[in-house]
Structure 1
Amino acid sequence: MLAVDIGGTKLAAALVGRDGAVLRDATVPTPPTGVMDALTALIATVTEDAPPPVAVGIGSAGPMDALAGTVSPVNMPSWRGFPLRERVGELTGLPTVLAGDAQCFALGEHWLGAGDGSGSLLGVVVSTGIGGGLVIDGRPLLGPLGNAGHVGHMIVDPYGETCECGGRGCVERYASGPNLVRWAVANGWHGPDARALAADAGRGDPTALAAFERGARALAAMIASVAAAAEVDTVVIGGGVAGAGRVLFEPLERAVDEVAGLAFVRAVRVVPTTLGVRAALAGAAKLAWNQAASRAARPGAR
């Protein structure tokens, strides 16, 4: 199976077996323009001299219209209503399925990673933005247009700051990497990015620690709300900011314990990704394998 992961900072592709084993993979930075050209070259690199895949699974940054097969990634301004599913189908000549990259992350972790064995799972990618995906009773919840699980734009403070999406008080405004840095700089911290902020928090810098505490409380409010609404038993967190380790997960654990009330909400397990960047590729491949199995099971299918 050919799996493709498309984000604002990188493009990745892999050949993935039925058991989830990555047989071959490659990654390149996402160019500001000519994204489809870069993707075409990447797919050619992965598939050259390899047994032909039977289908393609794509995980892409959104929002999207899964019915039309189009995507409009916030961090890729050259793509607005871009017919990604059609273009990849034409390129490969293969059946193609499209979902959100964070949805694929969640499915990959449920299949092979930290969520293996859980009944219902929320996957959260904390990076330049915040994405999410839900796996309910073992099945991905994608939504009518493919946008289910956009937890980064759940409102955690109705009187809060205006978000980049145009909403107010979204969790992304408080907990994404750039917004952690923005708040820290406004409060006297001097540093270039979220990685430096995490390093300073690890050394005990009070402003850096406060930034992660603030972000963790926003994430905790979102997690408790999703757990109450969907009764997920596991939350898996990945993305660049999750690499901060204990400076994120320790205040997050405390905050979930403080804001959660109902017993089934308090019981939710919050863990870091075990697959890392492989998770979205695994999930995209799983979607494609599921679609191939569904086609084969139809009456008259060959």
Structure 2
Amino acid sequence: MTDALISMDLGGSAVRLAMFDSGSMTMEDSVKIELGAETEPPDAISRIASVIGRWEQNREGSIQTVVAGLAGLHDAAGTIIAWPNRPAWNGFPFRDAFTSATGKPIVLFDDANLAAMGEYRFGLTQPVNPLLYVVVGTGIGSALVLQGEVYKGARGASGELGHITVDPNGERCPCGGFGCLQLYASGRAIERMAIAAGLPITKASDVFRLSAHGNEAARTIIQNSLRLLAIGIANAVRLFDPVSVVIGGGMVSRFPEVYRSLETTIQHILGTLPQKNVQVSLSVLREDAALWGGLAYGLQQVFIKNKEMEGVHNE
């Protein structure tokens, strides 16, 4: 049996793990671990390490690579520096703690960047440049793919679509800004607004179901969140002029019929601009996009090593 690659997507409400066979490029197993907002980092790492340890025990080939997408910003050392949805994790040395618990090195990415890599490599029927990928889940993120590479920006912090201002008089966001899109269009925002409206809900999916059954307050919350999300994406389209926009993430995967309306709304907002006919579609890989992004990274590294070896042999 060939070696395995572990891909991990750590978001605001859960961590999803997948084990891929490096040779066949197939997903051998996957697990979702629910993490509450109050879950401490060491507890989360312990639960993740338990799954990886079990996988390694039950297969013949070894696990050589672990790739993770985090919904929070981290520095070059792998320490989390800003995670608006998990402020208690700020300052946590994630990479060191993970390696200590598992004995495995880990490569860290922004979760939207990793999902964009997965969608570009395994979701699209043909390459699209530029591609704007948007994630809508507990929070909101995005990534721009240029010629097959994710644009990271000068500080490695590009793609923070969830923290663009859509209401300059809005409330303060945990990121320190005001009126951020994430406060009005993310899964957590929908939950918060529904509770404030007195709706009998425990999670964002309850609001979508109430809306589908004719609850006017729930319908208004969903409509307003979609309108602001469309405004945010349309502004990104104006700025980057992508060929295509792909929208993924947990909320989109669970309620695709609701989010399909975004294409028409975005095109309407763009008016007569050249980008008015931009193609907007939902992710083919759904919630697995970041997991496949881990495999895309692994294949990229193999390609780079092979090219380096070719260079050595040709000298």
Normalised by the length of structure 2, the TM-score is: 0.83
Deviation of residue 263 (structure 1)?
4.2
CA contact (8 A) 2:12 2:139 kept: no
Letter of the structure 2 residue corresponding to residue 244 of structure 1: F
What is aligned with 2:7?
3
Q: CA RMSD in A?
A: 2.8
Letter of the structure 2 residue corresponding to residue 26 of structure 1: V
Match of 1:124 among 119, 126, 134: 134
Match of 1:30 among 28, 35, 43: 35
Q: 1:184 to 1:8 in 2, by over 3 A?
A: closer
CA contact (8 A) 2:65 2:106 kept: yes
What is aligned with 1:160?
170
Paired positions, count: 300
Q: 1:275 to 1:78 in 2, by over 3 A?
A: same
Asked if residue 169 in structure 1 is aligned to residue 173 in structure 2, the reply is: no
Q: 1:111 to 1:30 in 2, by over 3 A?
A: same
Separation (CA, whole Å) in 2 of partners of 1:90 and 1:187 = 45
What is aligned with 1:231?
241
Asked if residue 246 in structure 1 is aligned to residue 250 in structure 2, the reply is: no
CA contact (8 A) 1:114 1:271 kept: no
Separation (CA, whole Å) in 2 of partners of 1:295 and 1:79 = 35
Q: 1:291 to 1:94 in 2, by over 3 A?
A: farther
Separation (CA, whole Å) in 1 of partners of 2:275 and 2:219 = 26
Aligned-pair identity in percent equals 31
Aligned residue for 2:92, secondary structure, equals coil
What is aligned with 1:69?
78
Match of 1:278 among 281, 285, 288: 288
Match of 2:300 among 268, 290, 298: 290
Q: 1:3 to 1:78 in 2, by over 3 A?
A: same
CA contact (8 A) 1:209 1:247 kept: no
Cα deviations by residue, 1:46-66 (Å, 9 ceiling, x for unpaired): 32224124422211121222x
Deviation of residue 25 (structure 1)?
2.6
Deviation of residue 260 (structure 1)?
0.7
What is aligned with 1:41?
50
Letter of the structure 2 residue corresponding to residue 43 of structure 1: I
Q: 1:233 to 1:20 in 2, by over 3 A?
A: farther
Asked if residue 13 in structure 1 is aligned to residue 17 in structure 2, the reply is: yes
Q: Give the unaligned 5+ runs of structure 2.
A: none
Q: 1:198 to 1:102 in 2, by over 3 A?
A: same
> Superposition pairs for residues 193-212 of structure 1, below 5 Å?
193-212=203-222
Normalised by the length of structure 1, the TM-score is: 0.86
Deviation of residue 256 (structure 1)?
0.9
Letter of the structure 2 residue corresponding to residue 37 of structure 1: S
Deviation of residue 230 (structure 1)?
1.6
Cα deviations by residue, 1:101-125 (Å, 9 ceiling, x for unpaired): 1221122112212575322222222
Cα deviations by residue, 1:243-295 (Å, 9 ceiling, x for unpaired): 22333432x23421321135442222222222222211111221233234334
Q: Give the number of the structure with larger relative contact order, counting CA–CA contacts within 8 Å between residues 6 or more apart.
A: 1
Aligned residue for 1:220, secondary structure, equals helix
Separation (CA, whole Å) in 1 of partners of 2:13 and 2:23 = 28
Separation (CA, whole Å) in 2 of partners of 1:301 and 1:42 = 39
Cα deviations by residue, 1:153-185 (Å, 9 ceiling, x for unpaired): 112232333323221121111101232233345
Q: 1:158 to 1:53 in 2, by over 3 A?
A: same
